[in-house]
Amino acid sequence: MNRIKKIALGLFILICIILMVSFILIPMPFAAKYTGQMIPTNDGKKLVTLVHLPDGNGPFPTLIIRSPYELPHTPLAGMFPPDLSNVRDEDLGKLGWKEITDAGYALVIQHTRGRVGSEGKALDLTDRTDGLELIKWVKKQNWSNGKVGTCGDSIEAILAMLTNAENPEGLDASFVQIGTPNLINEVLLGPGGALKLEIFFPWAAEQILTADANHFKDMDYGPIDRRIARVQMGLKVQEILSDLENPQNVPAWKHLPLKDYPHFSAALSGWNQMLSAKPNSQVSNYFDASLSTIPTYYVAAWYDVFSPSQLNAFERGEKDSLNQRLLVLNGTHFSAEDPKVWPMKPLLPWFDYHLKGKKSALLDLPRVIFPIANGQDEWYGATTWPPNSANIEKWHLSKTGQLSKTVTSSFSAGIRTYQYNPENPVPTIGGRNLMISHGPLDQQTVRQAQRKDVLSYDSQPLNSPIVAVGHVYGNLSVSSDCPDTDFTIKLLDISPEGTATLVTEGIIRARFKEGLSQESFMKPDEIYPLTLDLGHIAWRFESGHSLGVDVSSSNFPQWDRNLNTNQSLFSSTEKRIANNIIHHGQVNGSFIELPIISDVNALEHLSDFKTNQK
């Protein structure tokens, strides 16, 4: 949580400064003192663009990063020294720049609209075209040899993939780490249709608070209104970040409705746009970059908020035989900043192959590289993802709370029931999160023994280890007395001592049971089959451990609360208590699907791949 605490402390200090100077008549210095060329766009806005060239006369191949931050906030591909103790915080974003230029690449960094001196509105729907124009501008420079690659981390990776989605002529390759190619349908509202509140809420709020004066100018805020708005937003952000360990207890997180949220929706045109986005709408399609054919190297992390989307994109690309590769790190969203998590540095080999024509650059690297998430620096290579050697096993849920591969007499038709109250949701503990608690944390305090709105299912202790590698799904047969409600599944690893470690999880909003493209409400007494996407994982369940599955209807604030009505999402404040039913048996049964590797030796063990993680 060190990274999160630094962010929270930095924002708190910024808020205090804003409050002290907010009504001083001299203009507020919103933009950082940052020098760079101002490159005009087709609509006349000028964007700050910095160019770093290698030694020599050139011309050079060029790598592009587009960023809303003062400095790209994560060194790419682990290209930093093993000891960061002597590196100032303000210089962390520059780590890796010298390695890129020393390797003979020009590095171009452009600040997005409304950020760090660039003109225009922040988070406006212009990044695809702005990226295309930057590529054209680079190719016209006398120091450019015409070979161009896009790259970035987190939001910068998303911006790169938005440019890639246009499949622009002259873009040769891309390297994207810890980002998503489908922000709306697979992250903010997907894949089950619930809003990923913990990423949308604090991140969007922080982006508004730190926006450039140019953003507020384009939003028609006058000087005094701008100061008032920033003070109001600063106080709200301070409340949002006041207790990231227990955000479910902070009133700002529970505010309804989410649309027209005080102060934020007025200052960011994209706030209500994103909350109103539907599949195939203009906004959701704009952020869907999953159809790119640009050669792409994906870097994910098992417990990053974006990893399911990245791995889904890779899985789809395999079906279309796209030119792509994958590295999965063992960590969370901010782990890529830690030099200890990288077993190798693939960025330069990838671009050497595609931009310099070095055919030997990738010879020693498998197409897919991943670790066992709970292993001890245990890395494997594969030719595809998910690995072809995985076999799907069904583990069935019993009305008596058992979990088993074998359907016995206890699996005869039966139900288990619970009540879900939106006023008392199950609190989030770990998982694939950005700002709040994240990673494979112990779930004992939110299991059935502690909460009446959770159903727990446990297997018998394993006689021998099993290894799950691939895409995990959950299947529930459900009923409810409400027209809409959510269903959640957590897959757990239960130790002999009782620790219930979260392995992977998922959610589905019942109104989207027939897909995100249409809403279909539930009827009382009808049984509905639901399929939940639980994401991807590589995990070893040790001998003596048990598999566990927890079923409920909330996980807050990782996902927003379902209010259990048929009202429009994010616009209503009406709530109902839902009486939910899980059905068991051979006909209307419930089960999870685990991709099991029966012989881990069938995978390529990368014994030379080591990190410094403990």
- Token digits of residue 198: 């913990």
- Token digits of residue 250: 């902070």
Confidence of residue 34 (pLDDT cuts 50, 70, 90): very low
CA distance 241 to 244: 6
C-alpha dist (Å) from residue 169 to 107, 166, 172, 292:
19, 9, 8, 12
Residue with tokens 């990368």: 606
φ, ψ (nearest 5 deg) of residue 232: -60, -45
- Token digits of residue 303: 């417990």
Residue range(s) in the chain whose domain bears CATH number 2.60.120.260:
391-598
Q: Is the dihedral of CA 313, 314, 319, 325 positive or negative?
A: positive
The pLDDT, as a whole number, for residue 14 is: 54
DSSP 188: I
Q: Which helix (H) or strand (E) holds 81?
A: none
Residue 206 makes CB contacts below 8 A (sequence gap 6+) with: 7, 11, 237
Which class is 2-17+37-371 in CATH?
alpha beta
Short-list 569, 479, 559, 561, CA closest to 525: 479
CA distance 240 to 250: 7
Residue 144 makes CB contacts below 8 A (sequence gap 6+) with: 58, 59, 60, 61, 62, 106, 138
CA distance 260 to 269: 10
Q: For residues 345, 351, 357 and 361, what is the CA-based torsion angle, rounded to 10 degrees? A: 10
Three-state DSSP state, 534: strand
Confidence of residue 221 (pLDDT cuts 50, 70, 90): confident
CA distance 470 to 598: 13
C-alpha dist (Å) from residue 468 to 16, 341, 457, 533, 547:
48, 21, 18, 15, 11
Query: Which residues are bridge partners to 370 per DSSP?
Result: 380
pLDDT higher than 80, residue 569 = yes
SS (H, E, C) 345-381: CCHHHHHHHHHCCCCCCCCCCCCEEEECCCCCCCEEE
Q: Is 495 exposed, middle or buried (0-12, 13-18, 19+ CB in 10 A)?
A: middle
CA distance 197 to 568: 17
Spatial contact of 553 and 562, defined as CB atoms under 8 Å apart: yes
Mind listing the pLDDT tens digit for each residue in 163-176? 999 999 899 999 99
CA distance 241 to 376: 34
CA 111 to centroid of chain Cα atoms: 22
Conformational region of residue 535, where left means phi above 0, alpha means psi within -120 to 50, and beta covers everything else: left
Helices of type H across 219-305: 223-240, 251-254, 264-267, 269-275, 282-286
Residue range(s) in the chain whose domain bears CATH number 3.40.50.1820:
2-17+37-371
Mind listing the pLDDT tens digit for each residue in 240-265? 888 888 888 899 899 999 998 887 77
The pLDDT, as a whole number, for residue 25 is: 35
CA distance 123 to 66: 13
CA distance 606 to 366: 9
In the predicted model, what is the mean pLDDT of the chain?
87
CA distance 184 to 527: 29
The pLDDT, as a whole number, for residue 552 is: 98
pLDDT higher than 50, residue 30 = no
pTM: 0.89
The pLDDT, as a whole number, for residue 542 is: 97
**Pairing state of beta strands 368-371 and 324-332?**
parallel
- Token digits of residue 393: 């096993």
Q: What share of the chain is helix, strand, coil (3-state, %, to 5)?
A: 25, 25, 45
Short-list 517, 567, 572, CA closest to 193: 517
Q: Select 391-598's CATH number: 1.10.10.60, 3.40.50.2300, 1.20.950.20, 2.60.120.260.
A: 2.60.120.260
- Token digits of residue 134: 């930057």
Mind listing the pLDDT tens digit for each residue in 263-316? 777 777 778 887 887 766 778 888 889 878 999 999 999 999 999 999 999 998
Spatial contact of 172 and 148, defined as CB atoms under 8 Å apart: yes
Mind listing the pLDDT tens digit for each residue in 414-465? 999 999 999 999 999 999 998 899 999 999 999 999 999 999 999 999 999 9
| Lowest model confidence (mean pLDDT) among 246-250, 414-418, 484-488, 593-597 | 246-250
Short-list 336, 328, 324, CA closest to 297: 324
Q: For residues 38, 40, 44 and 47, what is the CA-based torsion angle, rounded to 10 degrees? A: -50
The pLDDT, as a whole number, for residue 6 is: 55
DSSP per-residue letters across 417-463: EEEE-TTSPPBP-SBS-SSSS-BS-B-GGGSTTT-TT-EEEEPPPPS
Helices of type H across 22-154: 97-102, 127-140
The pLDDT, as a whole number, for residue 531 is: 97
Alpha carbon distance, N-terminus to C-terminus of the chain: 17
Mind listing the pLDDT tens digit for each residue in 510-547? 999 998 888 999 999 899 999 999 999 999 999 999 99
Crossing angle between the packed helical segments 2-21 and 223-240, to the nearest 10 degrees: 150
Residue with tokens 């969007």: 204
C-alpha dist (Å) from residue 189 to 287, 512, 515:
12, 11, 12
Crossing angle between the packed helical segments 197-209 and 223-240, to the nearest 10 degrees: 150
The pLDDT, as a whole number, for residue 83 is: 66
- Token digits of residue 335: 């782990």
φ, ψ (nearest 5 deg) of residue 414: -170, 165
What is the rounded average pLDDT of the residues 125-132? 90
Helices of type H across 276-416: 282-286, 307-319, 347-355
φ, ψ (nearest 5 deg) of residue 498: 105, -10
What is the rounded average pLDDT of the residues 564-570? 94
- Token digits of residue 373: 């998430």
The pLDDT, as a whole number, for residue 58 is: 85
What is the rounded average pLDDT of the residues 105-121? 89
Residue with tokens 């605490």: 5
The pLDDT, as a whole number, for residue 265 is: 77
Short-list 558, 393, 402, 414, CA closest to 488: 558
